Amino acid sequence: METLRALLRESRLPALERGMLWQHVLRVPRSWLIAHDDDPIPAQQVDAYRRLEARRLAGEPMAYILGFREFMGHCFHVTPAVLIPRPETELLVETAVRLLQGRPAGSVLDLGTGSGAIPVSIALACPHAEVVATDLSVDALAVAGKNAHSLGATVAFHQGSWYQALRPGKVFDLIVSNPPYIPKDDPHLAQGDLRFEPKMALCDGHDGLDAYRAIVAGAPRHLSPGGSLYVEHGWDQAEPVCGLLRQAGFREVHSLPDLAGILRVSGGHL
């Protein structure tokens, strides 16, 4: 049998990724790999690793191979049915939590929830808030529900397109969303991890602003007086998204930068 050290050395993956895959196969922490690199590895586990390695070498995202991604300090289950949570989206959650801190019993709606990373993180940070989330995809809602259950978050999930999933007359103090915003002709859709992620969660099929038009137009009917709407968007979409917000009657419209200095989240108040 080959030793772990030899197997690590022969892998074509970067050191971090091959270590993560071996941790997954052997179900051990990183420290175990360091302390036991002379241990022989049974053929069955070597075969399991090589199957995962082949998937990664073919470009499949690590999050789908491992089945999870860390977000806001929590471990979220992910499948190819949902977008992989990204660090820049934490800005949207942090903004929502800050707004809800002034409303201990406030209510928040997440539109197009995907993995549920946004509403589950908000619910965990604001346990007294009412948190509701919608998604058109039944498969995505199954993933989101699993995450809420495993992390102990109270979130009400509803299936349907944007506000159509809600009962008539339901209003919230805050609406948030990270909708599909990549234009249909963007070359990035055929590159990297995006090749494996659900297209309906990435692209609106047009200019990248269709989802914002629907979300902003419907928000005044679903926000309580003084309520707020905040959305995540692409690096070059702050201006058009803010324009939609102003046209819909929102005030104090502004954009917030992510850690890279890119205007990533825009919103305003009624």
Report the chain's mean pLDDT, rounded to a whole number: 94
What count of other Cβ atoms lies within 10 Å of the Cβ of residue 210?
16
Q: Which two tokens stand for residue 165?
A: 């999933």
Which pLDDT does position 2 carry in this prediction?
87
| Percent over 70 (pLDDT), the chain | 100
The structure's pTM equals: 0.93
* Superfamily for the 80-269 domain: Vaccinia Virus protein VP39 (3.40.50.150)
Q: Is the pLDDT of residue 188 over 90?
A: no
Per domain, the residue ranges of the chain are 4-58, 80-269
Q: Is the pLDDT of residue 103 over 90?
A: no
Report the alpha-carbon distance of residue 82 to residue 63 in Å, rounded. Answer: 11
pLDDT digits over 123-147, tens only? Answer: 999 999 999 999 999 999 999 999 9
CB 91 within 8 A of CB 264: yes
Q: Is the pLDDT of residue 68 over 90?
A: yes
When pLDDT is averaged across residues 155-178 and rounded to a whole number, the result is 96
Which pLDDT does position 60 carry in this prediction?
95
